[in-house]
Amino acid sequence: MRGNKFGKLFSFVTFGESHGEALGVVIDGVTAGLDFNLEDLQIELDRRAPGRVAGTTNRKEADSAEVLSGVFQNKTLGTPIAVIVRNTNQRSKDYDKLKSEYRPGHADETTQGKYGFRDHRGGGRSSGRETLARVIAGYFASLMIPKIEVRAYISKMGPFSATVDDLLNTKDISPYNYPLVEKNTEIKKYLLKLKADGESVGGRISILIKGTPIGLGEPAFDKLKADFAKSLLSIGACVSFSFGLGEEMANLMGSEVSSKRENFGGIEGGISNGEDIFMTTTFKPTSTIGEKAKEGRHDPCILPRAVPVVEAMVKCVLADHFLRQRAYGDGGINE
Amino acid sequence: MRGNKFGKLFSFVTFGESHGEALGVVIDGVTAGLDFNLEDLQIELDRRAPGRVAGTTNRKEADSAEVLSGVFQNKTLGTPIAVIVRNTNQRSKDYDKLKSEYRPGHADETTQGKYGFRDHRGGGRSSGRETLARVIAGYFASLMIPKIEVRAYISKMGPFSATVDDLLNTKDISPYNYPLVEKNTEIKKYLLKLKADGESVGGRISILIKGTPIGLGEPAFDKLKADFAKSLLSIGACVSFSFGLGEEMANLMGSEVSSKRENFGGIEGGISNGEDIFMTTTFKPTSTIGEKAKEGRHDPCILPRAVPVVEAMVKCVLADHFLRQRAYGDGGINE
Amino acid sequence: MRGNKFGKLFSFVTFGESHGEALGVVIDGVTAGLDFNLEDLQIELDRRAPGRVAGTTNRKEADSAEVLSGVFQNKTLGTPIAVIVRNTNQRSKDYDKLKSEYRPGHADETTQGKYGFRDHRGGGRSSGRETLARVIAGYFASLMIPKIEVRAYISKMGPFSATVDDLLNTKDISPYNYPLVEKNTEIKKYLLKLKADGESVGGRISILIKGTPIGLGEPAFDKLKADFAKSLLSIGACVSFSFGLGEEMANLMGSEVSSKRENFGGIEGGISNGEDIFMTTTFKPTSTIGEKAKEGRHDPCILPRAVPVVEAMVKCVLADHFLRQRAYGDGGINE
Amino acid sequence: MRGNKFGKLFSFVTFGESHGEALGVVIDGVTAGLDFNLEDLQIELDRRAPGRVAGTTNRKEADSAEVLSGVFQNKTLGTPIAVIVRNTNQRSKDYDKLKSEYRPGHADETTQGKYGFRDHRGGGRSSGRETLARVIAGYFASLMIPKIEVRAYISKMGPFSATVDDLLNTKDISPYNYPLVEKNTEIKKYLLKLKADGESVGGRISILIKGTPIGLGEPAFDKLKADFAKSLLSIGACVSFSFGLGEEMANLMGSEVSSKRENFGGIEGGISNGEDIFMTTTFKPTSTIGEKAKEGRHDPCILPRAVPVVEAMVKCVLADHFLRQRAYGDGGINE
């Protein structure tokens, strides 16, 4: 009830404060007998890790995953999978003055108001660091849905923008997760400049999903689009969600929309129709600006590191609905 | 697990197909001793009802609410509240040809794929008619949060657009739920023209919430914004959600955003900060177009009728988080 | 959260007060395409109905089931199934004096303390009448698990007792649900005498389940035995639960128990092992005694009518775990 | 859905296999600002720990709790509390032959059948070792309900038996958790003899709860007795549950039962009535017998170590219902 759990049949609970002992996740609902590979998991974590990309935070934590349960001889057991990441580089003293200071756009004041008590060192429970637990969950989700491909990318960041076609033309968009990789040097300069200026910037992350079977999503509240929206808006900096033609739908006539099936974004009546699913989100600029942003270990733009988190959340939704659909079957019990 | 339930402490299950015996809802988590007024409930239902506004569907069903349980001597009992609305005007034969015909943008094909069997008469379970059950739930939610004011309005519909200031300047925006009520005659003409042309149009519905206490929403997955997003994207025609500055955040620098607290849209770190909450959604044009739209009982634009549904879903989220916050308290057990 | 919902993948919500408009249930998680037969459902309801057996309550309500949703052309749709039963015979005035009178062993005082407000006419929400909704749910559960046979029977009632072998020797144990049907005349006399004396009696109901596949139940909290225990203790008059050798286990040595696999009652490690499952419950005597019991419409012994309720709850647990096991599969995704 | 979570408003997820890296628990729903004391937690864990009592298993693991999150400056944060216990003493090779051998009364065969793959070293996920996670949860539950006293004790073990009055006469019943502590030497001899014989024995654990407020429990499925039953039957060796007069109710007349309110065991209509709550469970003899039991690290009787687990589960149920009742209030919103 305190909202630290996500999902139903494929579900996970995250825990940990940014400056506590460790962050972690317990994932429940992974089927038994799937091949686990610690290196693959670590690769996903590293995609999200701070300090790897020039221009992003220089907080260089190992973010090393330790699997405590649910895996035996590199296979999933079907039992809950607990994975933790130790906090090794918390410089809590940096945060001492935050005890009685509330940063705008952060959870500081609302957390104090909500609980009457808080861990004032960094974001505490509301830190973006919590998202590493989601990336871990996303890795295990991906084991369940090997035929579905989920790709997120930066579709807009400051002066840079890209289309889904740009994505389709580029296999590897790391490390910035911007499809026009020939711009990577420019992006680096741009981010370093922002950092030097104590400035930050927002942008957009879009998602393309290929290979979704027909029938995922439920007709009433757990429409696939609704669960995607929740999953993405549950990321701290995310401020908007749309799918298919999205906001553009407000400017269109029914005849224009119905002319092409892909305008429905792969979801009809809340249920996947087997076509590509396309979604877009907006992320606000990092709230930390000014002198603090220059000194600190803060990202001038969260987008590059948010991309693997976005992918993880989308995979978790898909894995959950995959199991739900399998439970009930298409036509049911008599098959 | 089949997604017919919404909410946690304040929760409800909806049931019913558009051409079945009845639609209804069972609401659980309403506290005991609240004053119930059937007329007020009916007023909310009537706001959503078809056939009341020129230019919207001419399907004139009574949509009369019958309370089966949970209310005694006009007070809530704290037990589950069941309310049903009989389907009195289903002309099923209109739909016979739909048995083997899948309408684009509808759930017809995905439902068949998902279940292997469906009620082909109208939208079945995926019909917009299901939303009357949500309006009923929203009425009971509103009893729980008397100090919070939730107002939704059409901020864009075809050539018409309105701002939140327009809303604040107008007390009663019925029947079109467009704040510039002096345009109502124009709107009527516009909608009748659409209908005559067998055309439809999308638009935007925005929401202003006043009086939210500090502390609603949870720091991880059940952020207030995430639950709002889910609640609204669970409405059939809704294709986008944003809060605060929304999509505009993609174009802003951190310094611009942090200059005014209201830019955060009343939610920081996923938790309400006591300020006004502002959200916007996009609705796609009604999928039924062409000759079918002219003859049938179809809305050329769903927006006027969607406004009470939007308000209901938002109220349900607020009532749920209100109870959640009350359960845990601010500082807890030792108060 | 108010405990009106039971089950996870096969779940249902019950509603209604004994003297309100109607009682009912919304069942979610029934797969699509199953054959529905209203007569079969009514037969189950009639087994539980009051006034059919001499010696039980003379409250002769029709308890006629009306299906509002989820069934189309006598097949389940996979959507929520709502069924209601109108209260047609409530003589509310009988209960007027109960407004300020709390009956021992009933929920009267605890309900008042819990909610601060209650429907004082009869048991309200806590009435045994609520169990008709469970019988309806049990009927739909049985459609999901056609290969599993669930038989409950009275193993002790006053001076009468019976064994599981007695059950196996008798195909039809109606109407008293006591396997030694040759005693039915005696039972009738016994119950009439109790009634005349304003007395009541408790007893035991045992359950034999045949045909459970291997693998139902989860290793930690949702052990099959734990879910059975909860399901049965959720029946008002039920005061004990045991499975396999049950209480006798307290008197046995490990070597005695391990000598025969059937001593484990069909459940090992919380998971069904494919053997017969055997369980026993105790029901307390009806709380209404004395003059009130003589006049009123009260059962001197609830056991005969409780048997179909017990069966229904057990079936619901089995259907739920059946779906859960199907979701995750035995070995999983790669099959 | 895989049953590794218990509770609703106060909830926890356990994880870990007996021979994996660690066992642990994530507890959600603890209010903020409660005083945490690691020593108190460790005392509870030590009560359950193996190897402390002569005659019980000689597996001497430290079972040392490490708190990873949710606590700051010795106060609860209101965020999820993760606690782990490393497995330091697993002698996995002892178990190698179990790979293809299924022990009767254990989960070996059912686990293999359920998942198609398992950790064959010891009980894996089904090991009694999982219950240490419950004891940790119980410690945090107890912080939420400081006014409620929960005491479990051995009421029968082999030739030894004790009454609730014996319990009331003895403040400290450690280490055997048998109230007649003057028999401790005899018990020690008895258990050592069992061990030497490769034999095991079952028994009964009873529970007395004092100080429960009126109003805990819900009228339909989440009756307090139903949730207690589930919580206790979810313990591996538990095979029966009863409350109040329990099984004796089958032999009583209504007039006898209604003569004393305490006969209802502190729960009427599923809701606590403020009186003492009394419950009894049966535990089967440990399944490991014969030569294996002599050599191995197996308990000849699980009862002494099960007592703190029983107390923990009961406290978790109470804390959960305490929060549920606080959410809805007694009469509600208008207070």
User: Computed over its alpha carbons, how large is the radius of gyration of chain D?
Assistant: 20
Residue A332 lies inside a defined structural domain of this protein:
no
Residue A335 lies inside a defined structural domain of this protein:
no
Cβ <8 Å between C334 and A34:
yes
Query: Does A121 contact chain C (CB < 8 Å)?
Result: no
Pair type for strands B277-283 and B238-243: antiparallel
pLDDT at position B106, please? 86
Longest CA span, chain B: 66
Cβ <8 Å between C70 and B118:
no
The rounded mean pLDDT for chain C is 91
CA dist A95 and A208 (Å) reads 39
Residue C234 lies inside a defined structural domain of this protein:
yes
The pLDDT tens digits of the residues spanning B60-88 come to 557 899 999 999 999 999 999 999 999 98
Residue A177 lies inside a defined structural domain of this protein:
yes
Q: Nearest residue of C to residue B21 by CA position?
A: C68
**Contacts of residue C193 in chain D, CB cutoff 8 Å?**
none
Distance of residue C102 Cα from the nearest chain A Cα, in angstroms: 34
pLDDT at position A263, please? 87
Report the residue from D82, D117, D125 with minimal CB separation from A75.
Answer: D117
Amino acid at A173: I
Residue ranges making up the domain that contains D292:
5-327
CATH number at residue B13: 3.60.150.10
Q: What are phi and psi of A259, to 5 degrees?
A: -70, -30
**Contacts of residue D5 in chain B, CB cutoff 8 Å?**
none
Residue B148 has pLDDT above 50, yes or no: yes
**Contacts of residue A78 in chain C, CB cutoff 8 Å?**
328, 332
pTM surpassing 0.80?
yes
Other beta carbons within 10 Å of B92:
13
Q: Is the dihedral of CA D332, D217, C314, D230 positive or negative?
A: positive
Cβ <8 Å between B328 and D78:
yes
pLDDT at position B298, please? 77
CA distances from B118 to A275, B123, B125 (A): 21, 10, 9
Q: Nearest residue of C to residue A141 by CA position?
A: C333
Band of residue C333 on the pLDDT scale cut at 50, 70, 90: very low
Distance of residue C192 Cα from the nearest chain D Cα, in angstroms: 15
Residue C267 lies inside a defined structural domain of this protein:
yes
**Contacts of residue D32 in chain A, CB cutoff 8 Å?**
115-118
Helix (H, G, I), strand (E, B) or coil at B10: coil
List strands edge to edge, sheet with D65-67: D5-6, D11-15, D22-28, D81-86, D65-67
pLDDT at position D164, please? 96
Cβ <8 Å between B80 and C118:
no
Cβ <8 Å between D69 and A22:
yes
pLDDT at position D333, please? 35
Distance of residue B125 Cα from the nearest chain D Cα, in angstroms: 25
Report the residue from B15, B22, B29 with minimal CB separation from C1.
Answer: B29
Residues of chain A above pLDDT 70, percent: 91
Interface test with B, best of C10, C25, C35, C72 (most B CBs within 10 A): C72
Residue C335 lies inside a defined structural domain of this protein:
no
Percent composition of chain B: helix, strand, coil (DSSP 3-state, to 5)? 40, 20, 40
pLDDT at position A93, please? 63
Cβ <8 Å between C270 and D107:
yes
Q: How many domains does chain B have?
A: 1
Residue A84 lies inside a defined structural domain of this protein:
yes
Report the residue from D202, D327, D330 with minimal CB separation from C249.
Answer: D202
Q: Nearest residue of A to residue B331 by CA position?
A: A116
pLDDT at position D53, please? 61
pLDDT at position A60, please? 57
CA dist B258 and A33 (Å) reads 49
Both tokens of residue B76? 């809530």
pLDDT at position B1, please? 86
Both tokens of residue C257? 């128990």
Cβ <8 Å between D332 and B219:
no
Cβ <8 Å between C269 and D126:
yes
Interface test with A, best of B228, B234, B289, B294 (most A CBs within 10 A): B234
CA dist C290 and B49 (Å) reads 54
Report the residue from C32, C144, C329 with minimal CB separation from A31.
Answer: C329
Query: Does B54 contact chain D (CB < 8 Å)?
Result: no
Q: Is the dihedral of CA B39, B43, B49, B51 positive or negative?
A: positive
Count CB pairs under 8 A between chains C and D: 335
Both tokens of residue C299? 């059962």
Residue A173 has pLDDT above 70, yes or no: yes
Mean pLDDT of C302-319: 97
pLDDT at position D296, please? 62
pLDDT at position B167, please? 98
Angle at C156 between CA C153 and CA C158, to 5 degrees: 135
Q: Would you tell me which residues 181-240 of chain C have a C-beta closer than 8 angstroms to some C-beta of chain A?
A: 219
Residue D177 has pLDDT above 80, yes or no: yes
Q: Nearest residue of B to residue A284 by CA position?
A: B249
Mean pLDDT of C214-230: 97
The pLDDT tens digits of the residues spanning A232-281 come to 999 999 999 999 999 999 999 999 998 888 888 999 999 999 999 999 99
Both tokens of residue B290? 């062409």
CA dist D107 and D104 (Å) reads 8
Most confident of B226-240, C83-97, D295-309: B226-240
CA dist C77 and C241 (Å) reads 35
Residue C332 lies inside a defined structural domain of this protein:
no
The pLDDT tens digits of the residues spanning B309-320 come to 999 999 999 999
Distance of residue C175 Cα from the nearest chain D Cα, in angstroms: 20
The end-to-end CA distance of chain A, in Å, is 37
Mean pLDDT of D234-262: 94
Count CB pairs under 8 A between chains A and C: 64
Query: Does B315 contact chain D (CB < 8 Å)?
Result: no
Distance of residue C132 Cα from the nearest chain A Cα, in angstroms: 25
Cβ <8 Å between A236 and B109:
no
Q: Nearest residue of C to residue A320 by CA position?
A: C327
Count CB pairs under 8 A between chains B and C: 155
User: Computed over its alpha carbons, how large is the radius of gyration of chain C?
Assistant: 20
Report the residue from C2, C214, C239 with minimal CB separation from D242.
Answer: C239
pLDDT at position C141, please? 98
Both tokens of residue D265? 């065991």
Mean pLDDT of A89-101: 67
The pLDDT tens digits of the residues spanning B198-222 come to 999 999 999 999 999 999 999 999 9
CA distances from D222 to A87, A176, B188, D226, D294 (A): 40, 51, 52, 6, 43
Report the residue from D9, D14, D220 with minimal CB separation from C14.
Answer: D220
The pLDDT tens digits of the residues spanning D124-161 come to 898 999 999 999 999 999 999 999 999 999 999 999 99
**Contacts of residue B70 in chain C, CB cutoff 8 Å?**
15, 17, 20
